[in-house]
Structure 1
Amino acid sequence: MIDDELAFAGRDKCAVAGIGQTEFSRDSGRSVLSLATEASLKAIADAGLTPADIDGVVRCDHDTVTPYTLAASLGAVNMRYWADTGPGGVAPCMMMGLAIGALMSGQAKAVLAFRSLNGRSEMRLGGRGRKVEPEAVGGFGTYDEFYVPYGLQTAGQTFAMVARRHMMQFGTTSEQLAEVALACREHANQTPHAIMADRRLTLDDYLASPMISSPLRLFDFCLESDGACAVVITLAERARDLPRPPVLIRAVAGGVPQDHRPGMMFPVVTRQDPTELGGRQAGAELWRRAGVGPAEVDIAQLYDCFTISVILQLEAYGFCEKGEGGPFAASGALKKGGRLPINTGGGHMSEGYVHGMNHIVQAVRQLRGEADMQIDGAELCLCTGGPLPVGSSVLFRKAA
């Protein structure tokens, strides 16, 4: 157990001072370094800083752009801290934790966190492939040889098995899964930069879409896209003197289930309860560190690689009881005006897939009051990462 004094030491002491992103597209025609540089320069400028002010860089360990390569591209000549974390979509939330550690220990004064990928045009599953990056080949677990020969080859197949288990155990329906996709698309339709901004989606469209891996249909899957996002984190005291309204980092936490299996993705199906992911441990620790609970959260940017992943996280983070994620979604709670509007820029399903970093940017926009689809009066926004067997989370607070 982490000591309470240590656990609460970072509460509201650091803040996001600047945000930046590129266009989200299906074919950027650019290198990931170019995308990372653009998003980072925008974040630095948004914070009212210069590249020379950046002395720390943190990244996802799947990113092919290294911190020092990006620093050279930016002209950040005063680098003295860098680190990476992962895996994959778990990283953005945990990057906030790395930044807090560096700032509060005096190792850095302004930390840049970024994620950049050509996820549609180059490197991910189904990519058209100017080149194939290492993460596109295998990479789902230490023991892939026990799964791949039997046809378990993709994340979609893994989550399809989890969704089927949830349906059988709790009565979850396709129509309830659809509510996640419909909420994300409705929010993207109000977000001009979202890839699906101009494409409406109805329940009939969802139900008529191709079955990809039963019971998951086409619109149960997230997008694969090209793009980059970046944020600048500094001490809250300093952030208050910068041009943009600071967004405080209330708490950061990760978690791993007690019966976690070796490997990243496929072993989840061999766990005693594959519908129980690391978000429950991450959430319990997050609420303890933050000093608040799920009832006080106004908005959530939930990692939406698949519709079922959102259902699982609603349960894991305590917004509803286990098994009740489907009815919670079907109640209208996830849309604007509902109890917990999610993925207010469209999320990975309809805005773009930048491994959770676009969720961080969207959270900051909401709490600044600058979002295209603004949730008025919001003060607390949850972001989650994963959701793999391991989970990650960060809670942001609007500054007074």
Structure 2
Amino acid sequence: MGRKAQSAIVGSGATPYYFRGESAPQTVLELIDKAVLAAVADAGLHIDDVDGLAFFAFGFDTGMIIEQLGLKNVTFAHCVSAFGGGMAGMLDLADMAISTGRLRNVVCIGATQQVGRRVGQALGNFAASPDNIFHRIAGLNGPGQALALSARRHMHEFGTRREAFAEVVMASRAAAATRETAFRRKPLSMDEYMAAPMLADPMCKFDFCLETDGALAFVVTAADRARDRPQPPVYIAGAAQHGSCDWGRAFFWLGQTPEAFVSAGGVKVAERLYQLTGMTPADIDVACLYDHFSPLVIMQLEDFGFCARGEGGPFVESGAIRLDGAIPVNPHGGHLSEAYVVGMTHIREAVEQLRGTAVNQVQGARTALVTGGPAPTPMTAAILRSEP
């Protein structure tokens, strides 16, 4: 099973999830503070025990967080770039800080608050510049419009069908149906999916994730101290980051190689993660895959070796990602059906699965893969497990 784990998640905290903008008049700092305090309490610790912070690039003000939480002894506060792509990389930062003996308790933080500016219109929010002017000329104002080009190319190259995208969405709805925190709990039929308005051909309304507000936080401590905490530890088997010019600025950029253009950009980080942990796809019991758009679930299944390149469509259509399938994907409903907090809900689900407390518990789950989003590099991913 690879190296012995050096660190573990011992605390998990979250705010309620809100439809975009409805978290106001709370500020994003208030949301973060509430999530951190809940995570610290879940770990059976005091806020004064926190000596490190880890983020990913989503506009957090480290000084304000330290000030508002009243932190007195922060000796490590670092950020992974790559927006949602860096989400799992926070666990890498925390693991490195803990395993080197630098820190005792690191809090990993992620949040979104879409008041005034929608994440779904991110490309249009940026000022025009020489490196992004193509999007303005082509009318690609949001990530979904840009990703539609890769989705259509995957269909052209491999015969992937819209029915496969539909299955990703329907599977997420089936999982969300039992989860009170989910926004989209109503079952979805194939006919309903096909009748939905097209937003960016070949992607319809249901292929796009929710736009929500919220904050989540996780406390990471040393593996040899983790069993002293109240909750069952969830060990970080390994976390990896990888950047490559083949992927560059992700699907916001059309300079990828042909191979990268039909992927989710995760091939190299998958290779690194499996090498680091000594695991293979066959060792993964639950996959929490970043799913802000349904085609990316199919591409990530290919990138991380659950099926061969081009076979993701038929693999999904076989029922393989359902709760009783070969590899359950996003048993919480994911971004498509539960809530979108830039991947943080996926870490929460992995922790709950490995604690044995998940709403849709996968029987015998001992390992969970968590992937960062296919955003600008570095790409990140982590494998968590229930034993050190």
C-alpha distance in structure 2 between counterparts of 1:140 and 1:351, whole Å = 33
C-alpha distance in structure 2 between counterparts of 1:255 and 1:278, whole Å = 10
Partner of 1:17: 10
C-alpha contact (below 8 Å) 1:57/1:83 kept by paired residues: yes
C-alpha contact (below 8 Å) 2:87/2:344 kept by paired residues: yes
C-alpha distance in structure 1 between counterparts of 2:311 and 2:250, whole Å = 27
Question: TM-score, with normalisation over the residues of structure 1?
Answer: 0.91
Q: Letter of the aligned partner of 1:38 in structure 2? A: K
Q: Letter of the aligned partner of 2:12 in structure 1? A: I
1:177 maps onto 2:170 in alignment: no
C-alpha distance in structure 1 between counterparts of 2:370 and 2:200, whole Å = 27
The 1:233–1:381 alpha-carbon spacing in structure 2 relative to 1, beyond 3 Å, is same
The 1:89–1:337 alpha-carbon spacing in structure 2 relative to 1, beyond 3 Å, is same
Task: For 1:70-81, list aligned pairs within 5 A.
Answer: 70-81=65-76
Partner of 1:39: 35
Provide the identity percentage.
38
Q: Please list the CA deviations of residues 342-383 of structure 1 after superposition, one character each: whole Å capped at 9, or x if unmatched.
A: 111110111111111110111001000111111110011000
Partner of 1:281: 268
Identify which of 258, 268, 272 aligns with 1:272.
Answer: 258
Partner of 1:122: 116
C-alpha distance in structure 2 between counterparts of 1:305 and 1:277, whole Å = 12
The 1:159–1:264 alpha-carbon spacing in structure 2 relative to 1, beyond 3 Å, is closer
The 1:37–1:316 alpha-carbon spacing in structure 2 relative to 1, beyond 3 Å, is same
Superposed displacement of residue 86, structure 1: 2.2
C-alpha contact (below 8 Å) 1:245/1:399 kept by paired residues: no
The 1:324–1:104 alpha-carbon spacing in structure 2 relative to 1, beyond 3 Å, is same
C-alpha distance in structure 2 between counterparts of 1:287 and 1:322, whole Å = 18
1:192 maps onto 2:185 in alignment: no
Partner of 2:227: 240
Q: SS of the counterpart of 2:9?
A: strand
C-alpha distance in structure 1 between counterparts of 2:93 and 2:343, whole Å = 16
Identify which of 200, 212, 216 aligns with 2:199.
Answer: 212
Q: SS of the counterpart of 1:123?
A: coil
The 1:136–1:176 alpha-carbon spacing in structure 2 relative to 1, beyond 3 Å, is same
Aligned residues: 382
C-alpha distance in structure 2 between counterparts of 1:70 and 1:135, whole Å = 27
Q: SS of the counterpart of 2:258?
A: coil
1:201 maps onto 2:194 in alignment: no
Superposed displacement of residue 277, structure 1: 3.7
Q: Please list the CA deviations of residues 131-159 of structure 1 after superposition, one character each: whole Å capped at 9, or x if unmatched.
A: xxx98722898711133122222211111
Q: Please list the CA deviations of residues 264-300 of structure 1 after superposition, one character each: whole Å capped at 9, or x if unmatched.
A: 5421465333013431101111111011100111100
Q: SS of the counterpart of 1:162?
A: helix
C-alpha contact (below 8 Å) 1:58/1:67 kept by paired residues: no
Superposed displacement of residue 107, structure 1: 2.2
In angstroms, what is the RMSD of aligned CA positions?
2.0
Q: SS of the counterpart of 2:382?
A: strand
Mark the runs of 5 or more structure 2 residues left unpaired by the alignment: none
C-alpha contact (below 8 Å) 1:142/1:264 kept by paired residues: no
Superposed displacement of residue 399, structure 1: 2.2
Q: SS of the counterpart of 1:295?
A: helix
C-alpha distance in structure 2 between counterparts of 1:58 and 1:240, whole Å = 22
C-alpha distance in structure 2 between counterparts of 1:334 and 1:308, whole Å = 13
The 1:155–1:140 alpha-carbon spacing in structure 2 relative to 1, beyond 3 Å, is farther
Superposed displacement of residue 126, structure 1: 6.0
C-alpha distance in structure 1 between counterparts of 2:247 and 2:192, whole Å = 37
1:94 maps onto 2:89 in alignment: yes
C-alpha contact (below 8 Å) 2:117/2:125 kept by paired residues: no
Q: Please list the CA deviations of residues 316-366 of structure 1 after superposition, one character each: whole Å capped at 9, or x if unmatched.
A: 000000000001111111111101111111101111111111101110010
Q: Letter of the aligned partner of 1:95 in structure 2? A: M
The 1:375–1:168 alpha-carbon spacing in structure 2 relative to 1, beyond 3 Å, is same
Q: Which moved more, 1:318-327 or 1:148-157?
A: 148-157
Identify which of 143, 150, 153 aligns with 1:155.
Answer: 143
C-alpha distance in structure 1 between counterparts of 2:124 and 2:48, whole Å = 34
Partner of 2:322: 335
Partner of 2:106: 111
Q: SS of the counterpart of 1:328?
A: helix
C-alpha distance in structure 2 between counterparts of 1:373 and 1:34, whole Å = 30
C-alpha distance in structure 1 between counterparts of 2:236 and 2:385, whole Å = 6
1:363 maps onto 2:350 in alignment: yes
Q: Please list the CA deviations of residues 194-245 of structure 1 after superposition, one character each: whole Å capped at 9, or x if unmatched.
A: 1223x22221111111000000000111111011111000111111111110
1:395 maps onto 2:383 in alignment: yes
